[in-house]
Amino acid sequence: MSGIELNHSRPTKKIFHRPQSFRDIQGWISKMNPELVKTVIESGKKPLCPAHYTPTVSLSMPETTPLTIFYNGIVNVYQVSPRQAETVIKFAYGKETPTSPSHNKLQTLNQGKQDVDESCSDLPIARKRSLQRFLKKRKGRVNIGAPY
Partner 1 sequence: MDDRSFNNQRIHGMSDVVFECVLAYIHDSRDRQSISLVCRRLCELEAQTRKHVTIALCYTTTPKQLLRRFPFIESLKLKGKPRAAMYNLIPEDWGGFATPWVEELSKSFSCLKALHFRRMIVKDEDLELLARDRGHVLQVLKLDKCSGFSTDGLLHICSSCRNLKVLFLEESQVIEKDGGWIHELAMNNTQLEALNFYMTDLSQVSFNDLELIAKRCKSLVSVKIGDCEILDLVGFFRAAVSLEEFSGGCFNKQSEEYASLAYPPRLCRLGLNYMSTNEMPIVYPFASRLKKLDLLYALLDTEDHCVLLQRCPNLEVLEARNVIGDRGLEVLARSCKKMKRLRIERGADEQELEDEEGVVSQRGLTAIAQGCLDLEYIAVYVSDITNAALESMGMNLKNLCDFRMVLLDKEEVITDLPLDNGIRSLLSGCNKLRRFALYLRPGGLTDVGLTYIGQHSQNIRWMLLGYLGESDSGLLGFSRGCPSLQKLEVRGCCFSEKALAMAVLQLRSLRYLWVQGYRGSKTGFDLLTMARPFWNIEIIPPRKVNCGDGREMEHPAHILAYYSLAGPRTDFPPSVIPLASITQ
Which residues in this chain contact partner 1 in the complex, by CB under 8 A?
8-9, 12, 22, 26, 34-35, 38, 41, 71-74, 106, 108-110, 112-117, 119-121, 123-135, 138-139, 141-142, 146-148
In this complex, which beta carbon is closest to partner 1, that of residue 9 or of residue 58?
A: 9
Q: Which residue spans within the chain are E strands per DSSP?
A: 65-71, 74-80
Distance between start and end Cα atoms, the chain: 63
Q: What stretches of 34-117 adopt beta strand conformation (E)?
A: 65-71, 74-80
* CA dist., res. 75 & res. 37, Å (int): 12
Residue 103 beta carbon to partner 1: minimum distance, rounded to whole angstroms: 11
- Shortest Cβ 122–partner 1 spacing (Å): 8
Q: Which is nearer to partner 1, 37 or 83 (CB)?
A: 37
Q: Which is nearer to partner 1, 2 or 21 (CB)?
A: 21
Neighbours of 87 (CB within 10 A): 22
